[in-house]
Structure 1
Amino acid sequence: MGTKQINNYRVKSLVQQTANSIKKDIDKGVYRKNEQLLSINIYSKQYGVSRDTIEKAYIILKQEGYIHSVSGKGYFVIGKPDVRMKVLLLFNKLSSYKKNVYDAIVQTLGDKGRVDLHIHHYNPALLEESIEANLGNYHYYLVMPHFFDNANELEYLNILKRIPAGQLILVDKYLPQLNNVSAVFQDFRNDIYGALNEVTYHLAKYERVAVIFPFNRHHPPEIKDGIAQFCEENQKKFEVVSSVKLDELKKGTVYIVLAEDDLADLIKAVRITGNKLRKDIGIISFNETVFKELLDITVISTDFEEMGRKTAELMLQNKAAVIKNEFKIIIRKSL
C-alpha cells in the first residue's frame, strides 16, 4: 500500500487531495490493475480521514476512469485511464451496411476514440441489459433504434431516456419522441417516396408496384407507407408480398426488394419464367453493393459511410444536431 501524504493547508480540497494521492499511486504502479482498494471504513480509520471525504474521492476516481465499483465487494483499480473518447455502439444486427457505418465511425475518430460494439438483435430487453451494465462508463452511446415489429414503444423509449440526452446519438432512425437527442438518420417514408417520384418516367410502363417485405425481418414499416403513398398519387396498384414465388410473378410489375436473398430469388425467377427485365418486370433494390452494380440493378440507398462520418463528427465537435442523411436512386437496366 502507498503512503498517503495529505496536506490540509493546500488550496485544494481534502477530497481532491485524497483522490490525487491515490491517482499518483495508481500511475506509479503502487496499486496494480484489478487490485482492490481499502474499504471506505478501513481507509478512514487508517489515515484519519472522514468517510464522506473518502467516498467523494472514490467517486472522482471512478468518474475519471481510474477505478470501478463492484456491488457488495468494493472498489477495484482499472489502471491509468484511457484518455480517448469512449463510445458504445449498439446495432440492431450485423450486416455489410452496418460494417460501413462502424468502419466510418472508427476511421473518423482515429486515435481520439475507442468504439465498443454490442448487438441488441431488435430486442429492447437486450438493449436494456447493455445500457444498464454500461451506463456511466462511456462518453457517448450510439443506438440504432430498430426493434421487433411488436415491441412496446413506451418500453424502449423509457430505456433510451436513461441515457443522458447529451450522450445519446440515434443512428439510422430518428425518434422524435425523444427531446434534445442528436441523430443521423434515414427518413424511410419520405426517402422512398421521393426516390420513386424522381423516376416516374421509368415507372410509367408498370401498372403495379410490389414490395417484397419478408416477415420477421423487422424492416422499417415506414418504407411500405412511402410506397403506398406514391402508388395512390400515381394510380398504380400496390402490393406487399413476403417472398418471391414463380407462379405469382406478374408482368407489368416493378418489384422493390429489401433483402439480398430475395433479390437473388427474384432475378432467378425472372429468368426461369422467360420474363424480360426492364420490359416485363422491373427491379429496384435497397442499398448499393458491387454485386448490384455488376448485375445492373437499380438501387435506392443512403450513404452509410457518410452516416458514420457525420456521427463521429458530432462527437468530435461535441455538437448536438439532428441530421437527415443523403438518400439517392441509381438508375440501371433493371428499370
Structure 2
Amino acid sequence: MKDLQIDTNSKIPVYIQIAESIMAAVRDGLLTRDQQIPSINELSEQYLLSRGTVEKAYKELRDKKVIISVKGKGYFINRTDIAIPLRVLLLFNKISNYKKQVYNAFVKTLGDNVFVDLHIHHHSVALFENLISNHLGDYDYYVIMPHFYEQPEKVLDILKKIPPGQLILLDKDAQELKGQYGIVYQNFEKDIYEALHEALPALKKYNSLVFVNPGFTPYPPEIEKGFRYFCRMQDFNFSVIEGIEMHTPVTQGQAYIIIEETDLVNLVKICRNNQLKIGEDVGIVSYNETLLKEILLDGITVISTDHEEMGAAAAMMIKDKQLGRVKNPFRLILRNSL
C-alpha cells in the first residue's frame, strides 16, 4: 500500500485522513479488490499512531463497505466502485469579472464530486503564506494565481512547500520554480505585442499611442514592456500615463490602450464631454473581453486572453491527472472603437 498522507497538524481528524488516504489509493487504482491492507497494529506502529485512531478509521471504511475483515486473515479491499471527492484549493489574486469566468469554467469542467475551496490573497505575501501553511495536506490540488509584486524569493519558498504533483499555476509563471507542477499561462509581453501588431492597420490612423498604467492596481509589468517594444518597432509616438481622471487631457489623434475598467469609463466620459468621436478622433483598445464591451459604443476593441479556456485547461489537468505547460490563447477582437 502506498504511503498514507497524514498531517497531525491538520484540522482534519487523523482517522478521517487515514480513511480518505486509503480511499484515494482505491480511486487511483493503487489498491484493488481483494487486496490485503495492513492490520490495525501494523498501521499504528508504522505511523506512530494510537491503535484507537486506526481502529476508528477502519470502522469508517467498513461502514462504507470499502474494506471487509476476514477472521484470522485481516483486512481486505471489498469494493472499488467508490467516488471520493477531490479537494481543490483555488487561490486568486483578486475578485473580478474575469476571475469569475475562470472559476465558472474550472468548476464546470471538473464536474460533480469535486470540492473547490476559493480564497483570495489580494497580492499579500503574508496572507498567501498563512493560507498555504494552514492548509497543507488538506487538499489534493492547489491551483494558484501567483500575482505578487514583492518578496519573490519568499513566494517561491512558499510554493515549494506544496507537494510535487499537486500544484497548478494560473495566468503567471514562477520561472524559478523547479519540479513537477502544471501551469496555464499568459506570455504578457509577447501577447500584447502580437495583438497590437494584428491591429496595426487600424492603429496607423492615429498620431500616437497612450498606454494607461492602472496605477494603484498592480498588473504584470511585462504588459507595458511589450507595448513599448511594439511602439519602438513600429516607430509610433507613444506615452505611458498613470490612470485616467476626469481632468486628464485627451487629444484628438490619440489611441489608448487601457487595462483598468475605471480608466475606460473615465476616457469615454471625457470624449463625450469634449465631443471627441471614439473610433475616429480617439481610439480605444481595452484589455479583457466582457459581454458589455461587445455592445458599448457599438463595440469596444479588446485584446484578451480566453479566461474560460484557462479555467477549463487547469481542470482538465486534474481530471486527466496529467500536469503540463499550456499557453493560454490570446486574441484581438477588432470593433468600432478603433
| TM-score (normalised: structure 1) | 0.77
Once the two structures are superposed, the pairs formed by residues 170-185 of structure 1 within 5 Å of their partners are 170-180=169-179, 181-185=181-185
Q: CA deviation at 1:176?
A: 1.7
Q: CA deviation at 1:174?
A: 1.3
| Paired position in structure 2 for 1:88 | 89
| Paired position in structure 2 for 1:233 | 233
User: CA 1:182–1:225 in 2, change beyond 3 Å: closer, same or farther?
Assistant: same
User: CA 1:11–1:325 in 2, change beyond 3 Å: closer, same or farther?
Assistant: closer
SS at match of 2:94: coil
SS at match of 1:87: strand
Amino acid at match of 1:228: R
CA distance in 1, matches of 2:265, 2:131: 35
| Paired position in structure 2 for 1:6 | none
CA distance in 1, matches of 2:324, 2:146: 17
| Paired position in structure 2 for 1:306 | 309
CA contact (8 A) 2:83 2:113 kept: no
User: CA 1:238–1:15 in 2, change beyond 3 Å: closer, same or farther?
Assistant: farther
Given candidates 17, 21, 28, the residue that maps to 2:55 is 21
User: CA 1:97–1:247 in 2, change beyond 3 Å: closer, same or farther?
Assistant: closer
| Paired position in structure 2 for 1:318 | 321
Q: CA deviation at 1:277?
A: 1.5
Once the two structures are superposed, the pairs formed by residues 237-256 of structure 1 within 5 Å of their partners are 237-245=237-245, 246=247, 248-256=249-257
Once the two structures are superposed, the pairs formed by residues 177-196 of structure 1 within 5 Å of their partners are 177-180=176-179, 181-196=181-196
Given candidates 311, 328, 332, the residue that maps to 1:329 is 332
SS at match of 2:115: strand
Amino acid at match of 1:194: E
CA distance in 2, matches of 1:11, 1:298: 61
CA distance in 2, matches of 1:25, 1:243: 62
SS at match of 1:165: coil
Q: CA deviation at 1:96?
A: 1.1
Q: CA deviation at 1:290?
A: 1.5
| Paired position in structure 2 for 1:132 | 133
CA distance in 2, matches of 1:128, 1:248: 42
Once the two structures are superposed, the pairs formed by residues 272-291 of structure 1 within 5 Å of their partners are 272-291=273-292
| Paired position in structure 1 for 2:262 | 261
CA distance in 2, matches of 1:164, 1:254: 47
SS at match of 2:105: helix
SS at match of 1:267: helix
Say if 2:267 is the partner of 1:271.
no
CA distance in 1, matches of 2:127, 2:111: 29
CA distance in 1, matches of 2:263, 2:83: 45
Amino acid at match of 2:164: A
Q: Deviations over 1:154-200 (max 9, x none)?
A: 11111111112311100011122112321001111111000001111
Q: CA deviation at 1:274?
A: 1.4
Gaps of 5+ in 2: 1-35, 45-50, 64-81
RMSD (CA atoms) = 2.0
SS at match of 1:111: coil
| Paired position in structure 1 for 2:224 | 224
Q: Deviations over 1:281-323 (max 9, x none)?
A: 1000011112111111001111111100100000111112110
Query: What is the number of equivalent residue pairs in this alignment?
Result: 273
| Paired position in structure 2 for 1:159 | 158
Q: CA deviation at 1:207?
A: 2.3
Q: Deviations over 1:192-248 (max 9, x none)?
A: 000001111111111211111122201111110000000000111221111224451
Compare 238-247 and 97-106 and name the one that shifted more: 238-247
SS at match of 2:337: coil
SS at match of 1:315: helix
Amino acid at match of 1:90: L
CA distance in 2, matches of 1:92, 1:168: 16
| Paired position in structure 1 for 2:5 | none
| Paired position in structure 2 for 1:206 | 206
Gaps of 5+ in 1: 1-9, 30-80
CA distance in 2, matches of 1:127, 1:264: 32
CA distance in 1, matches of 2:251, 2:105: 40
How high is the sequence identity, in percent, across the aligned residues? 42
CA contact (8 A) 2:144 2:168 kept: yes
